[in-house]
Amino acid sequence: MKKIVYLLFFILLIQSCKEEAELSSINPVNWEKRAVSLKQSDSLIHGTSYLSVYSQIYSQTEHKTHNLTVTVSMRNTNKTDSIYLNKAEYFDTKGHLIRTYFNKTIFIAPLETVEIVIDEQDKEGGTGANFLFDWTVKPNLNEPLFEGIMISTSGQQGLSFTTQGHRIQSTSNL
């Protein structure tokens, strides 16, 4: 009987240690779940927003850097209507495209937040990385809110800060 109890305990221990498969924000399957076919309407407003992010930051000198985890927060601040993001592109310090997270229209539901996470070990972006977002909203709606949250912890030291996106282009099909 004692052996059976130990065996059951061991099985439960093994089952509790199994990790669930993570879905990376790089994985296009994540964005497929949000894809929508947006009918072109004369009254839609199209825009582009810029967000600065930092996958690394200088420390002590220009020759020493710390890697950071980046969370890109894409927010819909409207209470009743969805907004639409058409493209999210990630660029490095020199302005070279690193990756496109999605290149088809996705929705963000009212008051919803959707995130892209760049792992602390992914330092491709460097000290001057940035995102460009192409978006579409109905007239009289708030445009998307884009924020970058950077964080790193090492030992007892922690570093965190935020950035906010800015609209750099807007057009209306009126």
The amino acid occupying position 153 is T
Helix (H, G, I), strand (E, B) or coil at 93: coil
Helix (H, G, I), strand (E, B) or coil at 173: coil
Cα 2 from chain centre: 50
pLDDT string in tens for the chain (174-residue length): 676 656 556 666 566 554 444 545 666 657 888 888 877 766 889 999 999 999 999 988 999 998 999 999 999 999 999 999 999 999 999 999 999 999 899 999 999 999 999 999 999 999 999 999 999 999 999 999 999 999 998 778 888 999 999 999 877 654
* DSSP H stretches of helix in the chain: 2-17, 28-32
Q: How far are the Cα atoms of 10, 11, 19, 116, 174 from residue 14, in angstroms, in the given order? A: 6, 5, 10, 31, 61
Report the pLDDT value the prediction gives residue 174, as an integer from 0 to 100: 45
